Structure 1
Amino acid sequence: MKRQKRSCSTFLSVPASCVLLAMSMGSAAAQSAAATFSHKDWDLICDNTLTCRAAGYAKDGVDKGATVLLTRQAGRDTPVMNRVMLAHYDDGAGQRASPPDLLIAGRTAGPLAFAGDDSWQMNDAQAARFLAALKKDAPVSFRENGSDFSVSGAGSSAVLLKMDDVQGRVNTPGAILRKGANKESSVKMPVAAPVIHRAAVTDKALRPMTTQEAAVLRAPILRVLAADQDQVCTEDRLAEPWEVAQLNDNTLLVSAPCWLAAYNGGSAYFVINKHMRSAPVLVSDSGNDYENGKISSAMKGRGLGDCWSHQEWVWNGAEFVESARGDTGRCMAIRAGGAWDIPEYVSQVREP
């Protein structure tokens, strides 16, 4: 099963026009560093700091699969970190009594080390043999209590070459796949994560909107929604009670129930001037929660809940800016809640 596309009924759906972004030179550079690429059973996600993560999975239809996550920060001489997770969705993931063995072409390469959070780790020698096996298309699996959990090499060459390309490592000694004698001067340095200064807010939580507030606030927000051809809010959801929080003396945050699908739902979050001196501004139509100046959203990729997408926005005193975005990898029934934490966008949030 491939990484699922985002929509309101699965992963987050936030049109670009609905997200307020800080357009400083630093944030623009950070945004341009991000990259995603998928081929067959492998995915590549490079976040806005140029840290890249390659995730490999078992072939479709395999009963006992595994997933491997390879993470590398930008910059010269940075190591390739690895994590391994076996599929235990049905019986509950967790540390096993004994570590699994790495098997390459059916022969053991020794046991893995426990790495926390239900995952295991290959040592340097094992990781080198693992990468060599991928290049040769040799079968790779992990044996636990007599059962083999396989990971596919299909697509790994294309994804790892793309990782080297994004980070400027192709044909250098530090490349994962295509090593060469070129100088390391081509290797890109990390991009600094944008800094967001979270502003203090008056209300740390939403509260039910009063009848008087609803009489003033609902109409301008409904007009904004009616004028947006891409808006996804339904009449029955909008008819439900709304909530509000005061951000500062002149600004309110309004949450309106927006849409409901088979296993996800979202609310529309608007910033509005309490004196109606400007039009309401939509932050997201897929928010799930507000707490102390932060709007967050989490969506299942499918009903099993084995894959999730998340996004966050932080109030900086003038607007909500995106502070985090990512997902947990493919929907492969590895564990409830998803296998990995794979950021696509990160930031440094400075507290007031």
Structure 2
Amino acid sequence: MRCRLPAHRPTHRAAPWRASARVAAWASVVWAAAAVHAGGTPPVSFAHKDWALQCDNTRTCRAVGYQSESGDSEPVSLRLTREAGPGTPVQIELQVSTEKASPAALHLKVGSLSLPGLQGDTPRIPAQQVPRLVQELLKNDEATVAAGKDPWVLSLAGASAVLLKMDEAQGRVGTPGALVRRGTRAESSVLPPLPAPRVNAAVPVAQRKADAALAKPLIAALDRASVEGQCNGDDPFRPDQVQVYRLTERKVLLSVPCAMGAYNFSQLLWLANDRPPYQPVLLDDVDGDFDPATGTVRSAMKGRGIGDCWFVREWSFDGKGFVLARESGDSLCRGFAGGAWQLPVYVTR
């Protein structure tokens, strides 16, 4: 029912992607590399048929299911969220997409369970109904959602495998609180939550009138051979094409527009001194639009032209360089304008 488009234009250094499976494969590699670089373990990502799982670096897991890709249902999605640790509850939210006006209420049916009167853009299933709903999701092939005469069909193909993977990622298999394979193993054996890393963000100093004039000498100091072949179109290294941002009393950020694809755009960023020797250093792992008000670089990659899945990364300036602050993405591209959900991969404080 809602369209969630990122506030900034989509950017990424990679070439445009057209197949959602290819985008998901790329994203899983980037996410794992980012987690290792940040000193943690790779986040758990898993997809099977019409369901997918994403656990972040705190061990909070989110499983999402959609309509069948081969069916004719309008977009519908269910999201299950569970934090790590013994005895934590499961939260379930529902979402549909329609070209009509947003329905006042939704009616979810699966197996013998009927849940009418679910209100809101992303209505949350009542907590007392969650355990029974989970069991019905595991026993049936599909669930239906209705608003008046308008129907949606949620595929449950892949739900069992994905929820089992969620249990495995959180160390719940064989415990009373497991979703799929319950047992008598002590609930206290469930893996605890991990603390989110702290990012000490620093606000850049005010821009100076003379900073724009640094573009020409900074460009002259670049090692262009190191980025040969990454950019397309007209010469992006013209002084009138680049941006210079003040970071500290002696450091600036040089932003160069690099590649324009069908629906993704990329930039190259260098950290440099504001006087000779400029010594510009390419930020290999940082790419996107810089916001001087917050000191953040944000990259948003659109998985398909219709914008039904996005992958977002954000870095914060800590006074010396840029550190990864957050990362999230859509696991499957299933027709929601702006994406159905943003599933956190990496979170910080």
| Fold shared, TM-score > 0.5 on shorter chain | yes
SS in 2 for 1:318: coil
Q: 2:16 aligns with which of 1, 9, 17?
A: 9
**Is the Cα contact below 8 Å between 1:329 and 1:339 reproduced in 2?**
no
User: Are 1:338 and 2:339 counterparts?
Assistant: yes
Structure 2 equivalent of residue 87 of structure 1: 97
1:186 Cα shift? 2.1
Give the TM-score taking structure 2 as reference length: 0.83
* Cα RMSD for the two superposed structures: 2.9
**Is the Cα contact below 8 Å between 2:53 and 2:331 reproduced in 1?**
no
Matches for 1:28-177 after TM superposition, within 5 Å: 28=39, 31-32=40-41, 34-61=43-70, 62-88=72-98, 90-91=99-100, 94=102, 96-97=103-104, 99-105=105-111, 109-114=114-119, 116=120, 118-177=121-180
Equivalent residue letter for 1:47 = D
Q: Deviations over 1:76-131 (max 9, x none)?
A: 1111111100122x346x4x22x1111124x66131533x5x21122235433332
Equivalent residue letter for 2:92 = N
**Which one is further off, 290-299 or 168-177?**
290-299
Aligned counterparts of 2:171 and 2:52: Cα–Cα separation in 1:
18
Aligned counterparts of 2:200 and 2:148: Cα–Cα separation in 1:
50
Structure 2 equivalent of residue 236 of structure 1: 234
Aligned counterparts of 2:272 and 2:160: Cα–Cα separation in 1:
50
Q: Deviations over 1:133-156 (max 9, x none)?
A: 222234311111112211111111
User: Are 1:314 and 2:320 counterparts?
Assistant: no
Structure 1 equivalent of residue 7 of structure 2: none
**Which one is further off, 263-272 or 189-198?**
263-272
Q: Deviations over 1:36-83 (max 9, x none)?
A: 111111111001111000011111133323100000000111111111
Aligned counterparts of 1:53 and 1:256: Cα–Cα separation in 2:
36
Aligned counterparts of 1:132 and 1:8: Cα–Cα separation in 2:
42
**Is the Cα contact below 8 Å between 1:43 and 1:56 reproduced in 2?**
yes
Equivalent residue letter for 2:95 = M
User: Are 1:253 and 2:253 counterparts?
Assistant: yes
Q: 1:55 to 1:112 in 2, by over 3 A?
A: farther
Equivalent residue letter for 2:344 = P
Aligned counterparts of 2:334 and 2:254: Cα–Cα separation in 1:
37
1:192 Cα shift? 0.7
Give the TM-score taking structure 1 as reference length: 0.82
1:232 Cα shift? 2.1
Aligned counterparts of 1:304 and 1:208: Cα–Cα separation in 2:
41
1:285 Cα shift? 6.3
1:220 Cα shift? 2.9
**Is the Cα contact below 8 Å between 2:35 and 2:41 reproduced in 1?**
no
Structure 2 equivalent of residue 295 of structure 1: 297
**Is the Cα contact below 8 Å between 1:296 and 1:311 reproduced in 2?**
yes
**Is the Cα contact below 8 Å between 2:297 and 2:316 reproduced in 1?**
yes
1:283 Cα shift? 4.9
**Is the Cα contact below 8 Å between 1:74 and 1:189 reproduced in 2?**
yes
Aligned counterparts of 1:125 and 1:178: Cα–Cα separation in 2:
21
Structure 2 equivalent of residue 3 of structure 1: none
Matches for 1:220-235 after TM superposition, within 5 Å: 220-221=221-222, 223=223, 225-228=224-227, 232-234=230-232
Equivalent residue letter for 2:305 = G
**Is the Cα contact below 8 Å between 2:108 and 2:116 reproduced in 1?**
yes
Aligned counterparts of 1:22 and 1:202: Cα–Cα separation in 2:
31
Q: Deviations over 1:293-350 (max 9, x none)?
A: 111112222111222221111000111001011124422112x2211121111111xx
SS in 2 for 1:103: strand
More strand by share: 1
1:160 Cα shift? 0.6
Q: 1:21 to 1:152 in 2, by over 3 A?
A: closer
Aligned counterparts of 2:285 and 2:115: Cα–Cα separation in 1:
48
SS in 2 for 1:32: coil
Gap regions ≥5 residues in structure 2: 1-11, 18-22
Q: 1:112 to 1:269 in 2, by over 3 A?
A: farther
The size of the alignment, in residue pairs, is 323
SS in 2 for 1:84: strand
1:278 Cα shift? 3.8
Aligned counterparts of 1:176 and 1:35: Cα–Cα separation in 2:
17
1:20 Cα shift? 9.3
Identity of aligned pairs, percent? Answer: 33
Structure 1 equivalent of residue 214 of structure 2: 213
SS in 1 for 2:283: strand
Structure 2 equivalent of residue 276 of structure 1: 277
Aligned counterparts of 2:132 and 2:36: Cα–Cα separation in 1:
44
Structure 2 equivalent of residue 265 of structure 1: 265
